[in-house]
Amino acid sequence: MRRRRALPGSLRLLVRLGPLTLFLALSPLLAVLLLPASGGSRPRVVRLWSRTAARLVGLRVRVSGVPAPGGVLFAANHISWLDILAFNAVHAATFVAKREVRDWPLFGWLAARAGTVFLDRGRRSALLGAGDVLADRLRAGKPAVIFPEGTTTTGQEVAPFGPGLFRAALEAGACVQPVTLRYGAPGSPDTVAPFVGDDSLVPHLLRLLARPGTRVRVLFHEPVFPGENRQALAAEARVRVRAGLLPVPAAADSRDHESELSSLPG
């Protein structure tokens, strides 16, 4: 059987850029028409939008484990802006993002429409306010995602987890589910997907579009039920997230399943 030749990066970029540009151009209209919807339809809209965007940028998502239902605080490692796309494609939730994301062209506006909580990490009062918002959403049965490292990394290690936003789980009586995001394979991490250092959004996006594809694994660990100590809760969540970077995820439950995103229900 004759093997198909791979497209050159520049041609692949052009082929993908057209459909993605059209999709993004229509996204504000879709957001205005569909995102005000309440109940079960809003998460479905966010999930379908994220899955479409993931395909258009060449992001292939694999899922291990099962997200806990209801008002759960998910605590994940942070590697790239792609993390939000990958997670929402699996399980739509409220995110906490740095305030600068709100100023990104189009993406910032869409994030705001999707209910993202923007945080000025330099102000303690902002951290407390974001925690109050998250606690209210968790009490209402709505899932939320935090990146307790407070910054992006290359994905080869997990930085210490700041305990501040774990207060929301304690106040709401909600469980915390650690989540490992891993680009590439153990021992062979992806060096293009990480959004670190002096990276800016558009050049990073163009590099992604020019490559054959990007693989990410979203690994859901067993939930942690809060006690009275947010520092201990943050430390335990980090231990489980780090375990997901190992070749055999030791923290994964034996009942975990692995599936392609395309095989999951919409």
What are the structure tokens assigned to 196, written together? 């670190």
* Tens digit of each residue's pLDDT, the chain (266 residues): 455 566 677 889 999 999 999 999 998 887 777 666 555 577 888 899 999 999 999 999 999 999 999 999 999 999 999 999 999 999 999 888 877 888 877 777 777 777 788 877 666 666 778 888 899 999 999 999 999 998 999 999 999 999 999 999 999 999 999 999 999 876 778 999 999 988 888 999 999 999 999 999 999 999 998 777 899 999 999 999 999 998 754 444 433 444 565 555 55
Residues 6 or more apart whose Cβ sits within 8 Å of residue 226 = 166, 169, 170, 173, 174, 175, 176, 233
Write down the domain spans for the chain. Answer: 9-261
What are the structure tokens assigned to 239, written together? 């231990």
The CATH class for the domain spanning 9-261 reads: alpha beta
pTM of the model: 0.86
* Identity of residue 261: L
